[in-house]
Structure 1
Amino acid sequence: MNNSTCPITNFLLVTHILYAYLGLLLLLGLLLNGLALWMFCCRLRKWTETHIYMVNLAVADLCLLCTLPFMLFSMNKDNSADTVLCQLSQGIYLTNRYMSISLIMAIAVDRYVAVRHPLCGRGLRSPKQAGAVCAVLWVLVVGSLLLRWVLKDQEGGFCFGNPSRQNPQTVVFSLLGFYLPLAVLVFCSLQVVTALGQRPAADVGQMEATRKAACMVWANLVVFVVCFLPLHVVLTWRLATGLNTCVIQDIVYITGMVSDANCCLDAICYYYMTKEFQEASALAGTPAAKAHRSQDSLCVTVA
């Protein structure tokens, strides 16, 4: 937003709140994602599909977090002219926001295949294939952002918060980059939860582990929706109505900051999600569980 006309950050209280929020987000996000990368890269001996996706997710979240100070600095300036630093930080920020969204979708699809189609999943799921999926996602996301940059550059720039450089073509990329993964995530989550609910429980321990795994699927979906949906609803409204008032710009700013909280919540949610699925799988491998398992029963395997 252009703060010469919409001075949300010119209010001292708002500025203090934003800086406190940003500081907390950076502290927790860098700590949690840095710890996750250290665990995955230095402590794990065997790489699985889930670990590869989560390493890429942690990298994307860390890259996004590192651009937040530049974003806040740019928001407090009248961006009549773009700078290389502003354009670079904007591009990294947007790339890693939608890369995070895409990776969350990929994890959901991987989980769906493992649970709903365990036999086919043996051929579809492997660390190499997970790495290939991540590479394709990086190419697609970066390619779409480069195309956005070309379209923006025709109007003079690609920098934070300047409404004169926001056009419908570039907003469409953001909306497609969110609503398509959202639809896939909702479908896969519902399918996994349904499969877990239909799964025969051999004992109380397995039933409790399965219940926890289902709760983590719901928690992951709720976190994704709460973080990303408000921003994209506002962007959709702005695209549909053509309105770009100060109120709408301020709401985009605030909901965008809310979406950044996903960088911290990803690390927590997926750590516990992996743990609960591993517990459910381990219990499913006991002799009592095997005796109750039929040929088309569901397997919850992450390793």
Structure 2
Amino acid sequence: MNKTCDSLPWSSTVSYVFLAYSALVLALGLLLNGLALWVFCRHMHRWTETRVYMSNLAAADLCLLCSLPFMLYSLQYTSDTPLCQLSQGAYLLNRYMSISLVTAIAVDRYVAVRHPLWARRFRSPRQAAAVCVALWVVVASSLVVRWHLGLQEGGFCFRSHSRHNFSTTVFSLLGFYLPLAIVVFCSLQVVTTLARRPVTDMGQAVVTSKAARMVWANLVVFVVCFLPLHVVLTVQISLSLHSCTVRQALSITSRLSDANCCLDAICYYYMAKEFQDASTLAISPSSRLHKSHDSQSLTLS
């Protein structure tokens, strides 16, 4: 029989490190995502597909960070209280909404680069907004189903019982591995297409190289932040492990996934040229916006 534990045996030093890390992620994430959302809503005059997706992504990351302190507080108790259900529900909703939006951005980028003629006919800010609304509805509905199943299994919250319930694990795995496959496929297709484009001058080569590096950076951030957590969940459900070691691994990898909120915000400045210009204007209204020397810098927007 597998040994379970009700409290994680962290040393005081490790506990302080976790606390400092969470505080840093919270402060930096709130600052960066708040600034990003402010720039998107106040200092950009033209709605594009990128702006729609990024605004929703910044909002989801911001909501996740706001729920983070309450979620961490609820982990200290085993009771399935309304505060626990609300905070952890909001945390899960915005984690998988962030994953879904990153997936939508990857698909939108793939369509724009691989099928430009089709993209001109069907890509639009209104369609991007409809996709975002649909994603919010699907993720929220899935979470409601997971909540009902979790209550039947003994509790919704992570610490409501010693065993990590089945519905939580299935919800987490389906909410990540399918998006992961889509993001990897779209990213590789975009990078391959960019590499095969004929280069007419040095400026275009530089822009193409930067675009490819940006795609790789986005993919690496997505994999590094989310894959370890879901690998641990996969091992847990496959081998029916519920030991303190597994609980510790889940705690560490979950904190790693929180860093995605900060890294997403940093990527905002490299994913759209118009966002860079708007950010400069917001910080220094008197500064002049520089026009891009190559229209390909907007290809991924």
Match of 2:257 among 252, 256, 259: 259
Q: CA deviation at 1:302?
A: 4.8
CA gap of 1:8–1:74, structure 2 versus 1, over 3 A, is: farther
Q: For residue 5 of structure 1, what is the aligned residue in structure 2?
A: 6
Match of 2:151 among 153, 157, 161: 153
Q: For residue 282 of structure 2, what is the aligned residue in structure 1?
A: none
AA aligned to 1:174 is: S
Give matches, 1:70-149, under 5 Å.
Answer: 70-77=70-77, 79=78, 81-149=79-147
Give the whole-Å Cα distance in 2 for the aligned partners of 1:214 and 1:163: 46
Q: For residue 29 of structure 1, what is the aligned residue in structure 2?
A: 29
Give matches, 1:250-289, under 5 Å.
Answer: 250-275=248-273, 282-285=292-295
The question of whether the paired residues in 2 share the 8 Å contact of 1:156 and 1:165 is answered with: no
Give the whole-Å Cα distance in 2 for the aligned partners of 1:52 and 1:274: 12
Q: CA deviation at 1:8?
A: 3.5
AA aligned to 2:242 is: N
AA aligned to 2:57 is: L
Q: CA deviation at 1:282?
A: 4.3
Give the whole-Å Cα distance in 2 for the aligned partners of 1:269 and 1:217: 10
CA gap of 1:252–1:97, structure 2 versus 1, over 3 A, is: same
Q: CA deviation at 1:210?
A: 0.9
Q: Which moved more, 1:163-172 or 1:151-160?
A: 163-172
Give the whole-Å Cα distance in 1 for the aligned partners of 2:5 and 2:190: 49
Q: CA deviation at 1:169?
A: 3.1
Counterpart secondary structure, 2:194: helix
Q: CA deviation at 1:168?
A: 2.2
Matched, 1:48 2:51: no
Match of 1:180 among 166, 178, 189: 178
Give the whole-Å Cα distance in 2 for the aligned partners of 1:74 and 1:109: 36
The question of whether the paired residues in 2 share the 8 Å contact of 1:56 and 1:134 is answered with: yes
Q: For residue 215 of structure 1, what is the aligned residue in structure 2?
A: 213
CA gap of 1:299–1:191, structure 2 versus 1, over 3 A, is: farther
Q: For residue 289 of structure 1, what is the aligned residue in structure 2?
A: none
TM-score, normalised by the number of residues in structure 1: 0.89
The question of whether the paired residues in 2 share the 8 Å contact of 1:278 and 1:301 is answered with: no
The question of whether the paired residues in 1 share the 8 Å contact of 2:36 and 2:265 is answered with: yes
The question of whether the paired residues in 1 share the 8 Å contact of 2:60 and 2:97 is answered with: yes
Q: CA deviation at 1:75?
A: 2.1
Give the whole-Å Cα distance in 1 for the aligned partners of 2:159 and 2:193: 44
Q: CA deviation at 1:161?
A: 2.9
Counterpart secondary structure, 1:161: coil
Q: For residue 290 of structure 1, what is the aligned residue in structure 2?
A: none
Give the whole-Å Cα distance in 1 for the aligned partners of 2:8 and 2:187: 40
Q: CA deviation at 1:85?
A: 0.8
Gapped runs of 5+ residues in structure 1? Answer: 286-297
Counterpart secondary structure, 1:37: helix
Counterpart secondary structure, 1:154: helix
Q: Which moved more, 1:191-200 or 1:67-76?
A: 67-76
The question of whether the paired residues in 2 share the 8 Å contact of 1:227 and 1:260 is answered with: yes
The question of whether the paired residues in 1 share the 8 Å contact of 2:67 and 2:87 is answered with: yes
Give deviations 1:77-109, integer Å, cap 9, x for gaps: 3x1x21111100000000000000000000000
Give the whole-Å Cα distance in 2 for the aligned partners of 1:87 and 1:278: 38
Give the whole-Å Cα distance in 1 for the aligned partners of 2:275 and 2:205: 12
Q: CA deviation at 1:76?
A: 2.4
Q: For residue 228 of structure 2, what is the aligned residue in structure 1?
A: 230
Q: Which moved more, 1:260-269 or 1:199-208?
A: 199-208
Q: For residue 247 of structure 2, what is the aligned residue in structure 1?
A: 249
Q: CA deviation at 1:276?
A: 9.7
- Hey, which bits of structure 1, 4+ residues long, moved more than 6 A? 276-279
Q: CA deviation at 1:153?
A: 1.2
CA gap of 1:299–1:26, structure 2 versus 1, over 3 A, is: closer
Identical-pair percentage: 62
Counterpart secondary structure, 2:272: helix
Task: Give the length in aligned residue pairs.
Answer: 285
Q: CA deviation at 1:278?
A: 9.2
The question of whether the paired residues in 2 share the 8 Å contact of 1:155 and 1:165 is answered with: no
Q: CA deviation at 1:212?
A: 0.7
Matched, 1:16 2:16: yes
Q: For residue 292 of structure 1, what is the aligned residue in structure 2?
A: none
Q: For residue 188 of structure 2, what is the aligned residue in structure 1?
A: 190
